[in-house]
Structure 1
Amino acid sequence: MTKKISVTLMFLFAFSFLTGCKSTPVANLEGEQIPSGLTEAQFVKAVTEAGHLRGWVIKKESDGHLVGDIQVRSHYAAVDINYSASEYSITYKDSENLKYDGERIHRKYNQWISNLNLDIQKELRMLTL
Structure 2
Amino acid sequence: MHRRLLLTGAGLGLLGLAGCRLAPIHTVTDGAFRGSAPLPRRGDQIRRAAIRLGWQVQDIRPGLMRATFSARRDQAVVEIAYTRDQFSIRHLESTNLSFDGTQINRAYNGWVQDLERGIVAASAS
Matches of 1:45 and 1:83, distance apart in 2: 11
Q: How does 1:32-111 map to 2 (within 5 A)?
A: 32-111=31-110
- Spell out, residue by residue over 1:68-125, the C-alpha distance to the aligned partner (whole angstroms, 9 max, x if none): 1011110000001111221110011110000001111000000000001111111111
Matches of 2:35 and 2:59, distance apart in 1: 21
1:35: how far off?
A: 3.5
**Does structure 1 retain, via aligned residues, the 8 Å contact 2:34–2:120?**
no
Q: Which sits farther off after the overlay, 88-97 or 36-45?
A: 36-45
**Does structure 2 retain, via aligned residues, the 8 Å contact 1:46–1:123?**
yes
**Does structure 2 retain, via aligned residues, the 8 Å contact 1:47–1:58?**
no
Which runs of structure 1 show a deviation greater than 6 angstroms over 4 or more consecutive aligned residues? none
Matches of 2:35 and 2:54, distance apart in 1: 27
Matches of 2:35 and 2:113, distance apart in 1: 22
Amino acid at match of 1:99: S
Higher helix content, 1 or 2 = 1
Where relative contact order (Cα < 8 A, 6+ residues apart) is larger, the structure is 2
Higher Cα Rg, which structure: 1
Uncovered stretches (5+) of structure 2, i.e. residues with no partner: 1-13
- Using the size of structure 2 for normalisation, the TM-score is 0.81
When the two chains are superposed, the root-mean-square deviation of aligned CA atoms in Å is: 1.8
Matches of 2:49 and 2:83, distance apart in 1: 18
**Does structure 1 retain, via aligned residues, the 8 Å contact 2:35–2:123?**
no
| Count of paired positions | 110
- Using the size of structure 1 for normalisation, the TM-score is 0.79
1:24: how far off?
A: 0.5
Matches of 1:119 and 1:66, distance apart in 2: 15
Uncovered stretches (5+) of structure 1, i.e. residues with no partner: 1-15
Q: Give the secondary-structure state (helix, strand or coil) at the position aligned to 2:121.
A: helix
Q: How does 1:15-34 map to 2 (within 5 A)?
A: 20=18, 22-34=21-33
